[in-house]
């Protein structure tokens, strides 16, 4: 059996990951309204990845005979403005998610729950990548966002992103 506190935090994280999916769907929606279909595509795929994160935790809980409790998902409440600000919202949100993963890891460490620590290793690495990607997107927008031709090319580049299932399997 997993530790009760660890179960509670993993359950909360299922909800937080689904909220992340909802937030990124809203950002995709926002870029669609700006006619930036590549940015919209990129965030649509990001939303799918967040749902995958939720499902990995959901499966992990089930595989360990722990109860999954699904709660209401908060409305995406970030005011989105223009081309750059949603990218900053993303970085801020990913830094927050990293802190949540770290909290679960700390609880697992405290409980000597080595299995959950090993499971979370993938998420620790993933958060490092997600923060880097968010910073890179901001840097590209700073460089190219004000020039119409460059923005067009950046949008094309982001349109090329395709979905692939997470590398972690349970």
What residue is closest to ligand FEO based on CB?
A: 53
Question: How many Cβ atoms from other residues are within 10 Å of residue 165's Cβ?
Answer: 9
Rounded to a whole number of angstroms, the minimum distance from the CB of residue 63 to ligand FEO is: 19
Say which DSSP state 18 is in: H
Site for ligand FEO in 121-150 (CB under 6 A): 130
Q: Which of 41, 94, 113, 141 is close enough to bind ligand FEO by CB under 6 A?
A: 94
CB 104 within 8 A of CB 6: yes
Q: How far apart are CA 72 and CA 38, in angstroms?
A: 30
CA distances 9 to 6, 66, 166, Å, are 5, 12, 21
Q: Which of 2, 47, 89, 97 is close enough to bind ligand FEO by CB under 6 A?
A: 97
The CA dihedral of 6, 12, 18, 20, to the nearest 10 degrees, is -90
Q: Of 26 and 94, which CB lies nearer to ligand FEO in the complex structure?
A: 94
Rounded to a whole number of angstroms, the minimum distance from the CB of residue 147 to ligand FEO is: 29
Number of residues counted as binding ligand FEO (CB under 6 A): 7
Q: Of 92 and 146, which CB lies nearer to ligand FEO in the complex structure?
A: 92
Q: Of 129 and 157, which CB lies nearer to ligand FEO in the complex structure?
A: 129
Q: Of 115 and 132, which CB lies nearer to ligand FEO in the complex structure?
A: 132
Site for ligand FEO in 40-59 (CB under 6 A): 50, 53
| Integer-rounded Cα radius of gyration of the chain | 17
Rounded to a whole number of angstroms, the minimum distance from the CB of residue 16 to ligand FEO is: 8
Is 17 a binding residue for ligand FEO by CB under 6 A? The answer is: yes
The candidate with the shortest Cα–Cα distance to 39, out of 135, 152, 148, 146, is 152
Q: How far apart are CA 111 and CA 136, in angstroms?
A: 36
Binding region for ligand FEO (CB under 6 A): 17, 20, 50, 53, 94, 97, 130
């Amino acid at each position: 059996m997993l530790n009760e506190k660890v179960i509670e935090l993993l359950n909360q994280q299922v909800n937080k990951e689904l909220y992340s999916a909802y937030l990124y769907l809203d950002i995709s929606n926002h870029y669609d309204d700006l006619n930036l279909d590549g940015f919209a595509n990129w965030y649509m795929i990001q939303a799918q990845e967040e749902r995958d994160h939720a499902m990995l935790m959901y499966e992990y809980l089930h595989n360990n005979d722990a109860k999954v409790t699904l709660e209401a998902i908060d409305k995406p409440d970030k005011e989105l403005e223009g081309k750059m600000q949603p990218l900053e919202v993303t970085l801020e949100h990913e830094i927050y998610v990293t802190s949540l993963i770290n909290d679960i890891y700390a609880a697992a460490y405290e409980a000597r729950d080595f299995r959950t620590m090993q499971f979370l290793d993938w998420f620790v690495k993933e958060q490092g990548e997600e923060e880097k990607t968010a910073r890179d997107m901001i840097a590209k927008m700073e460089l190219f966002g004000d020039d119409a031709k460059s923005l067009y090319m950046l949008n094309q580049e982001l349109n090329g992103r395709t979905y692939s299932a997470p590398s972690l399997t349970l």
